[in-house]
Structure 1
């Protein structure tokens, strides 16, 4: 278990480093993450490279028993590089150039930026390769953030990307609908900037994502060539960002990393960004956010929540609040004065706890019977459609994840093309875009006996964003045993449900999205209960051999989701994991020899929960049977 902090030695006088390091050691810090956003410190003027100050910081940390995760820095160029190449600033769809004073203000397609970025990263990697105090490399910071660019240079590369993918203009015309609005092109350079056409928007988003993934791939290759024995990671941003397909970027690194700011991203992010690797490194763990009032104890609980979801590294952002710039009132365990306050004491307490539990936790991973598929391409395709953000699948996915977490102790969130064979239930919210690979994977899962849940607005378009000729849900229509003659996605829908099959579903409300369902072999599980839809199918089930497809043709409101999820898990043969108590969240991690149970009490009073027999307190070894007490805003970690 890697427990530590983000540290920026170049933000503080070198004379202060020793005192900071001594205090870190005192509270159990074993790792620091350093180096990102530091190009101007490494190269204050062109060609004048100086890595010695970082080398000294790494050495001082090492002498104290603190190892370094070292980040490259090339996506934040120094001002002198912008002076030489102002054209590398990104432009938006309307040709407006982004200002230089923010971070990551670079076009990932610009040849001068790519050349200079390669130079600084290569120099840094070669300089520090083999350093025994560096345990891991991190590829830059938040790859893809703010890098969207629609300049002439980027468009020229996009046209080359289209040529490589479609080979001929005629093939592109056929895929995108050549005669709509007289779109037929004669040359790839005829394709304009993406503004309204959904096919251009979807493909441009793929193109931008591919630039970000390619950047990660090139750095990974450099790091492995120079320092082959050290793992490589990078930090994915919160769940609501969709600039990069993190499923694809995950394939270019050894360990998934992420930012964990629970005050502004849902808990599902921990499972989604863990992906199918079974573990995740939290490279930015929230300590404090400007304008966010976190209750006493929650900083520690948020960190334990990350561990319970599979984190094997917990790096708090950051050691001390910055004195200047856009983040001068942002994160920091210590305030500017370095006085130890409430947040620091919570951090120090956790360091002590991990001294006891880290080795026990390290051997375990989450083990799930339920998977929730999460598709960046479906998000991009929805956003490119006339519906836009209002039906972004991520929000329904988050609501379903919250409800699932009240039944099971772990959920995996995966690319819909990932191996699904070990799961009993797969929930696939609004799979708007379904290509052949996704359709084949979901079909195989059902035919092997799995329970698949699709939701309203599934199977609308193919891989290029073109509507299917087959009835919706497109390539899965026969599997679902239905066809949908219409889809409505609109704020203000006022729907209610009636069902004798699903306990507690009667009268529940739905809004935002609804399919008009026609039966072709499926049975009705719930009907609409009001308006002109009254009596029409709202939820259906189609049995396929030992498997089944449940189609939820409405978007249930967040507060109304639980009865549906309780029924779904029951249908899949998944039992309720423990009798839950309001205010307590429950997680498990397992290994071959034992299980760990994490009980987090978010309430301001002690809670009691029944857990059965055979458990012991993971810290003390004391037997815990039957009911267990969890103190207010505290955690119990139990072992069996």
Structure 2
């Protein structure tokens, strides 16, 4: 298990490297991520590489038992390169050329950038691929975190991509419905990129553009991976990079993961009572390869930002946050950064040590965590978070819903509802994954579908097969309504979805924010809102109905038997209390018990990791500043605190417990 930090030896006087490494060693730091912003130091002038400083640092770090995750950079190029060819700069949708004086301002499709980045990555891999201290290769940084480029090269590549996808221009015209507004094209060379224009672009156009930009990002991953992989000589050396889950939707991470050995992410949730706001991102990361992952940037000290909320960790919160990521499947955690930056754009970013590299309160907490983690890591490492419930997290659907347009509505709805479903499962004491359309559904007994507007025949057949074999699905509005080109199906639903759900959609109704739509289920009243599908049941049981509006009596909740399983449909986006009751009912019906057979108190997180031999480690984490109590049904060994616990167990503010069967 890697316990590390992001470090920038190029920022630090060489005669002070050892001072930093001594502090890291004391804190049981065993790995560093380095190099992602050091292209100019690696290649001071065109073709003239200088790795001597990195040689020295890696050897010195090795003397302290610290391993290296090395980052071949790509998207923060040296100024001499952009000076030689100004066309490297991104041209944004306004037609403005981005300046060099920031990061990620260069076109990833530019042939020169790709040639130079590949050459640098290859040279680094030749030099360090067999180095015993270099255990991992982290491809650039936050790939996809830049504006879309609309330069003439991107336009040409986009047109070639479309021709490869559709083959014939008339096929594209039919797929997108370009007859609308007389937008029919005669050849692919006429198709622009989506720059600023008067009104909305065709939704099929925008959906294809998002697929294209995702593919461009994945090409960068493949480019760097192919430069490095032939030179890996150290057993266990891996290739990875960091996504920005869940706030960055620009790359289909399920597809990108196919080119990585280990997936990684950045994790910057707020502190305080919203500390789990981004937790779905951890579930997604372990689901990309169905394996443990790494957190390559973990927040720590508060940022020096006046007026920022959820920003400052109380004593104990760093331990809670660190172990929360490990509980949810991380086998590596790297704090960002090790030392505060006295200069540059991120000089107010919190860090483990101060501007001069001296220890802080946060360093002391880092040290305490490292000492305890060093004792238990061998037990946990390699274990998996095994879930029987998942949220279907679908990039094509998210792209479509999050396209900013007055015709789309609230672009945050997809993630808001996904989070609501995920957090409800967790509050009930169950593990929960986030799976993609190409994931193995058979691993789950219950899959919650927040919305799924974009479907194709293969996905619908897969959903049908899942229920036929005993799975339970819970659908919501805007599921199965459009094809891959965002074109509505003539009957408002894919024909296979009509059969699967046993309903037909007659029309839709909407409600403004704060306008509650009442409905009943299981003898109780609940509220929903924002969007309502008024349906005609065909072969379903009506489980609940709307009340109090002109559509009173229309079905609000339906259930249809499908093979050995069931398909539920909730015709609005409901309040959390409804999902608590519905999921409690479904878990009881399916035979799913919460972890440790307990429903955790509010603000207490319960998660389980499990080895292939069946050994289980259950994490109890108090996410609040108040003492909490949990009732255990058996005696268990708390390996984090080195004690045996049973009965009523106390959790002090932000306390962590890791439980296994008492020996």
Normalising by structure 2, we get a TM-score of: 0.92
Residue 532 of structure 1 and its aligned partner are, at CA, apart by 1.4
Moved more, 308-317 or 180-189: 180-189
Q: Is the 8 A contact 1:400 1:565 kept in 2?
A: no
Paired position in structure 2 for 1:349: 368
Q: Equivalents in 2 of 1:381, 1:333: separation in Å?
A: 40
CA distances 1:500-537 after superposition (whole Å, capped 9, x unpaired): 426xx51x322222212211111222211222122211
Residue 277 of structure 1 and its aligned partner are, at CA, apart by 2.1
- Mapping of residues 209-224 of structure 1, within 5 Å: 209-224=214-229
Match of 2:213 among 198, 208, 211: 208
CA distances 1:590-614 after superposition (whole Å, capped 9, x unpaired): 1224211111112223322112114
Q: Equivalents in 2 of 1:150, 1:486: separation in Å?
A: 39
Match of 2:536 among 518, 527, 533: 518
Q: Is the 8 A contact 1:3 1:31 kept in 2?
A: yes
Q: Equivalents in 2 of 1:314, 1:295: separation in Å?
A: 20
CA distances 1:295-325 after superposition (whole Å, capped 9, x unpaired): 2211211110000001000111111111111
Residue 626 of structure 1 and its aligned partner are, at CA, apart by 2.3
Paired position in structure 1 for 2:585: 567
CA distances 1:339-370 after superposition (whole Å, capped 9, x unpaired): 42222122111101111100001142111110
Moved more, 567-576 or 163-172: 567-576
CA distances 1:542-572 after superposition (whole Å, capped 9, x unpaired): 1112211111111124566433333343343
Paired position in structure 2 for 1:277: 290
Match of 1:358 among 377, 382, 386: 377
Match of 1:610 among 631, 645, 652: 631
Q: Equivalents in 1 of 2:511, 2:558: separation in Å?
A: 22
Matched, 1:15 2:15: yes
Q: Equivalents in 1 of 2:141, 2:155: separation in Å?
A: 25
Paired position in structure 2 for 1:77: 77
CA distance 1:150–1:164, shift in 2 (3 Å): same
Paired position in structure 2 for 1:266: 278
Moved more, 114-123 or 250-259: 114-123
Q: Is the 8 A contact 1:497 1:526 kept in 2?
A: no
CA distance 1:227–1:200, shift in 2 (3 Å): same
CA distances 1:348-406 after superposition (whole Å, capped 9, x unpaired): 11101111100001142111110111011001122346215435412210111111101
SS in 2 for 1:588: strand
CA distance 1:575–1:184, shift in 2 (3 Å): same
Match of 1:197 among 196, 202, 207: 202
Q: Is the 8 A contact 2:393 2:435 kept in 1?
A: yes
- Mapping of residues 451-470 of structure 1, within 5 Å: 451-470=472-491
Q: Is the 8 A contact 2:427 2:602 kept in 1?
A: no
SS in 2 for 1:410: coil
SS in 1 for 2:480: coil
Q: Equivalents in 2 of 1:117, 1:69: separation in Å?
A: 18
Moved more, 484-493 or 215-224: 484-493
Q: Equivalents in 1 of 2:496, 2:86: separation in Å?
A: 48
SS in 2 for 1:33: strand
Residue 36 of structure 1 and its aligned partner are, at CA, apart by 0.5
Paired position in structure 1 for 2:253: 246
Q: Is the 8 A contact 2:20 2:357 kept in 1?
A: no
Residue 409 of structure 1 and its aligned partner are, at CA, apart by 3.3
Q: Is the 8 A contact 1:260 1:285 kept in 2?
A: yes
Q: Equivalents in 1 of 2:157, 2:626: separation in Å?
A: 59
Q: Is the 8 A contact 2:319 2:654 kept in 1?
A: no
Match of 1:587 among 607, 613, 624: 607
Q: Equivalents in 2 of 1:566, 1:137: separation in Å?
A: 43
Q: Is the 8 A contact 1:391 1:512 kept in 2?
A: no
Matched, 1:471 2:492: yes
Normalising by structure 1, we get a TM-score of: 0.96
What CA RMSD, in Å, does the superposition of the two structures yield over aligned residues? Answer: 1.9
CA distance 1:47–1:395, shift in 2 (3 Å): same
Q: Is the 8 A contact 2:467 2:473 kept in 1?
A: yes
Q: Equivalents in 1 of 2:521, 2:169: separation in Å?
A: 54
